[in-house]
Structure 1
Amino acid sequence: MEQAQKLNFIQKYLPASYLVIFIGFLVFGFSENIKGPAIPRMQSDFGINELQLGMLLAYNSIGYLLACSFTGIVTLKLGVKTTSFIAFGSMTISGLFIYIANTYFTFSLSYFLMYVGNGMLEIVLAIFAAKIFIRNTGFMMNLSHFFYGLSSTIAPIIAASMMGWHIFGHDLGWRGMYLIMLSLCIIPMIPTIFIKEPKQTIEKEDKMPVKVFLKDPAAWLIIAILSFGVIAELSIGGWLVNYLEKAHNWTTAKSSAMLSIFFLFFMLARLLLGPIIDKVGFAKSLIYFSGIATFSIILGVLLGSPGVFLFALAGVGVAPIYPTVMALLAKRYPNGTETAITFTVTLMGIALVIGNMLIGFVIDVFKQWFTKLQGAEVGLIRGLQSGFIFIGLCALFCTLAGIFLYRYLQRKEEVI
């Protein structure tokens, strides 16, 4: 009886569901954004080139894509609680596997497992949040993403610092850093024990069929906007430290600090720009902010060292794209939001795989070309610059798709 009373007290006064979501987004941000400072070390330890590095990041996107394809079904079958345990648990185990991996192949498999868990976590948190944030939905969603932005902001600095720690006479390194950071996923598993399964509020017969969604031209433009926008967002997070270290001879600490500034702008943009987006409109906002990202990335490359700060400004441009697209899908497809989001995110996952492979390919091709013309040092710099120009072009394609979407909705008198 006393144990039951204690459990009821915890459920009443300790919002376990909120803790799972907020801490979940916190560890999600850490796991996804500690790779920036670690990538140059991984590349050195395994002796891989930029194309192989791009392939590694593509494996991550494949893991994310797989998670998109089955997490919804797993959640439906097993529930939010069990699926959350699986997501947190797989990420924790992957940290151990990354630590003990001694070949590029085994490391790739471990990294792949981490991103399967990462993708599962993103999907299950989104489903869980949509079910429990019935009141003040906009504010609560922004608050959730604030925790992701908060951990993303400090993740590169913490990761860079941890890799230099000395424990038992040895450097912790990037392997130990991943082990410790991914072990943090154990923390949100504790409040997960106390959550209650949210009730299903949408009847099956009321859901929009996928065929209806696919026949809407606006849907494909929205998919293009999200895909190009997220490629730009994640590519900056993945490649910026490597770029600054090798193209500008920055230290790991200084490069990680710049990445943290990028995520600081990213976090503040998601937290503060919501009211502006509501006033301007979703489609127009996507055009304006992706345009800021395009300008910042490309000009940041062309200006060289004086323009490096523009990469941080790009965080303001890419940050609103994902949540604004989600809001647009919810408003345009009120009877089929789940279907629209699932299909859109799945195709975005495919685009991420292709995008990561192309970035690595572009860097490698231009690196080899300029190496033959001007030497290895210049070749590496030009290769990395070409890769970031490609990232800027992805932001530009996002802007163009936004323009086409706005014109289409304007003709149909359906601008949101």
Structure 2
Amino acid sequence: MTSRASAVLELTRELIRRASVTPEDAGCLDLIEHRLRAVGMRVERRRVGEVDNLFARHGESGPHLMLLGHTDVVPPGPLEEWTSPPFEPTERNGCLFGRGAADMKSSVAAFVVALEHYLHEQPDHSGIVSLLLTSDEEGPAEHGVRVMVPWLQDQGLLPDACLIGEPSSLETLGDNVRIGRRGSIQAILSVRGRQGHTAYADPADNPAHRAGPLLAALGQLDFEDGDAHFPPTRLQISNVQAGTGAENVTPGELKVLFNLRNNPNSPADVLEARLRALIEANDPGPWTLDWRVSGVPFGPATGRLPAVVDAVCRSQLGRAPVQDTGGGTSDGRFLGPLGIPCVELGPVNRTIHRIDECIGLDELERLPGLYHGIIAGYLSGSEEG
């Protein structure tokens, strides 16, 4: 095993051992800060509420490439269902198991190892390379990158491009990269009625009856706004809530929770106007709509970074990655809408958020080299460093 491969394995294991369930960092950033300072990076720590954030940079001027990731993980779920404890990194069958193994402590470790090697080899490199880490990606995402971006803007430190270590690969490392993301909108529709005894209530007072045609209309919406880079906007109903739980009482209120994943061709305000018109047209009775935009669509990434990522994957992995905009949301939503090209490249995402989350040891071994090549290629001005 090469020194780079052994280094990324050991650091990934050390990070997995820290039970950093959102918003806890559990000492991950302390470990990383020590290593980054040792190779000459300037490190700033900002704690906002319960969230820990770290920004490290090296270089003074020129093109600025930022690496972006998070140290927090989702809860492990029922511990008895794990084959090995979620916060005890375990190797078996050619994989490393543990919560965060794929999402995304392996990528964070690979970022650190790649930076260590690059700065050892190129201490006088051109441009700026930075690393932004937060412990608030898997949760509300209110006090992590969301607040760090305005701070970076005030400091004049917004990057020219951003490489995100989210697990983008589908079957094998580097077969897929994200060059943008759809937005995410959460809506809660409340329809009022009149609670009553099922034997005597007027059906016209029952919001579940009145909202039936509207629910069908929501489920049949077709936005027809897809393009070469983004699939069409989609609406999915996630919860329908009504009633007291009693069999002989009609509901006084019906709540419908639905989520929209929108592409740049359908801005949130346009969608809200369309949904309000649809509700009015179906006349469900007295209603209110709570509309919350949690992520703005961004991309597709253009410029040097996508070309560098493509060239490095071709050179090191022997394949050109498919570029897409699928998946959920990432912290790129706070940078991409500012016009900053964001590309996501990371491990296979098959086991993320699942029991027995894992990463292939061969994937883990290759990650630092990929990130090293992208850093070198972007800062040197060539397609591959």
Q: What is the TM-score of this pair, normalised by structure 2?
A: 0.27
Whichever of the two has the greater Rg, that structure is: 2
More strand by share: 2
More helix by share: 1
Q: What is the TM-score of this pair, normalised by structure 1?
A: 0.25
